[in-house]
Structure 1
Amino acid sequence: MEISTVLKTFVAYLKRPALYPELGRKIIKNTVSRKSPFKGKAKTNSWAASIAVSQKEAVSRLFSIDTDHFRETYADILETAHAKEKECPITMGGPGALELIYYACEFTKAQNVIETGVAYGWSSLAILLSLQKRNGTLYSSDMPYLAQDGDQYVGYVVPEDLKKYWKLFRFADRESLPKIFKEIPSFDVFHYDSDKSYHGRMWAYHEIYKRLKPGAVFISDDIGDNSAYQDFCDQINIKTYVVDYSGKYIGVFIK
């Protein structure tokens, strides 16, 4: 990261007292206790590659649902969302495995869903398209995009008519999640796509897992970054599916 970007980000943190706890953690992580965010990466990528299936196959095996109709059903909404992404002046993460996320909500008949990481809002859109049918609520955690002056663009592709089903918490996970837990004690679907570090993942995985209902769906993006997801599944003796999507691995299981 360029020095100018680091300085800009640091100044942005200083202007937001609510984000001081996360600033403190980042300073400690990058100075006193530097730990590799890639712990166990080779091990997990080898394991993931050996068991990975396509998104279509995973949805079929887990939920007994065919994914073919999603893109057709929501063609206009998705087209508008792509146009919104193209006009956005800052760069964030693009669409992920939308069918997997959407059909997880359909399978569980979800009323309450929690996600970490929003960016443009593609995963949020997939979740909200399902939740609107049952007047459910999505609880999302995402940090402001401090280095890009991008606060107003988080969730940019989410249509206005779906936002009434959405509660967005603009803090780091360690502050957002306790606030969310005070509002709702249990969830039907969890989608993780935020702090990529080993320890950040393990903390959030354990905090969320114990609040998932039996039969809830747990999804984590980018599990090949390190071995946190594999280690978590081993610790709790979870049989998980791994989805190979656009060259990255996604973990998913039913509790």
Structure 2
Amino acid sequence: MSEIVRVLKTFMAYLKRPDLYPELGRKIIKNTINRGNAFKGKEKTNSWASSHAISQKEAVSKLFGFDIEPFQNEYQEILKVSEQREKECPIKMGGAGALELIYYACEFTNAQNVVETGVAYGWSSLAALLSLEKRNGTLYSSDMPYLAQDGDQYVGYVVPENLKKIWKLYRFADKESLPKIFADNQTFDVVHYDSDKSYNGRYWAYHELYKHLRKGGVFISDDIGDNSAYQDFCEKNNIVTTVVEFEGKYVGVFIK
């Protein structure tokens, strides 16, 4: 699909969804007036992240006291089925991410309530749900529809049906989804951010999510090297964060 066709298709899909008009307005501003904002501070943060980064295995051991090896063995069959589901999916979305980091964050906090932004295939959702299922907890997810790909029906595609009973999926942009989620539940044990990649989008969401994370809870953000929003947020709030290097990208994680 050419870029022009994709943009036009996305725009037309927005027009059919009045509930998404606020996000359409923000996207227009982001891609015109604030176009350079997405990568603000990227060079600075990548230098900082590379000098602090450790492996996912080291991070899980250091922060949570777990070895990550049992995860792949314990859930081998579930993961295999989910991998096959991803291969069969007719549209392409984001990859799996640091599943063990998310799963053991939930185990460490004995999580009952987890909030995530960004779902795509649902790999991060699956990792959280596998832990939450043990305690009959709830995962609250914010995810924008994949408008250009007619992808609504495929969001969360790798999540098994039996886990969906403890999953609440809000199909709006973060600025609409998060207030709805916080109205449903005020306090969370784990936060996982993986949605709007822009500096302003991240910085706004980080503050909102942090306010609703309990003391002793775990905050995780993917792709922190996109810009300096995560580094700036941590420095402003005097947060000592761990940086995880995973498949050539950086993930930020800390315990509140």
How far apart, in 1, do the equivalents of 2:181 and 2:219 lie? 17
Listed as ranges, the matches of 1:42-81 within 5 Å are 42-81=43-82
Give 5+ residue unaligned stretches, structure 1: none
1:157 CA drift (Å)? 0.1
How many pairs were matched up? 255
Question: Within the alignment, does 1:200 sit opposite 2:201 as a pair?
Answer: yes
How far apart, in 2, do the equivalents of 1:36 and 1:108 lie? 35
1:33 CA drift (Å)? 3.9
Question: Aligned AA for 1:80?
Answer: V
Question: Within the alignment, does 1:182 sit opposite 2:183 as a pair?
Answer: yes
Listed as ranges, the matches of 1:93-104 within 5 Å are 93-104=94-105
Question: Aligned AA for 2:180?
Answer: K
How far apart, in 1, do the equivalents of 2:31 and 2:110 lie? 42
Question: Aligned AA for 1:186?
Answer: T
Q: Retained in 1: the 8 A contact 2:37–2:200?
A: no
How far apart, in 2, do the equivalents of 1:110 and 1:226 lie? 29
How far apart, in 2, do the equivalents of 1:46 and 1:132 lie? 39
Q: Retained in 1: the 8 A contact 2:119–2:142?
A: yes
How far apart, in 1, do the equivalents of 2:130 and 2:46 lie? 32
1:27 CA drift (Å)? 1.5
How far apart, in 1, do the equivalents of 2:149 and 2:35 lie? 25
How far apart, in 2, do the equivalents of 1:36 and 1:80 lie? 39
RMSD: 0.8
> Residue 146 of structure 1 aligns with which residue?
147
TM-score by length of 1: 0.99
How far apart, in 1, do the equivalents of 2:176 and 2:242 lie? 30
Question: Within the alignment, does 1:233 sit opposite 2:197 as a pair?
Answer: no
1:36 CA drift (Å)? 2.3
> Residue 167 of structure 1 aligns with which residue?
168
Give 5+ residue unaligned stretches, structure 2: none
Question: Within the alignment, does 1:41 sit opposite 2:59 as a pair?
Answer: no
Listed as ranges, the matches of 1:80-91 within 5 Å are 80-91=81-92
Question: Aligned AA for 2:47?
Answer: S
Question: Aligned AA for 2:29?
Answer: I
1:57-94 per-residue CA deviation (whole Å, 9 max, x = no partner) reads 00000001111100000000000000000000000001
TM-score by length of 2: 0.98
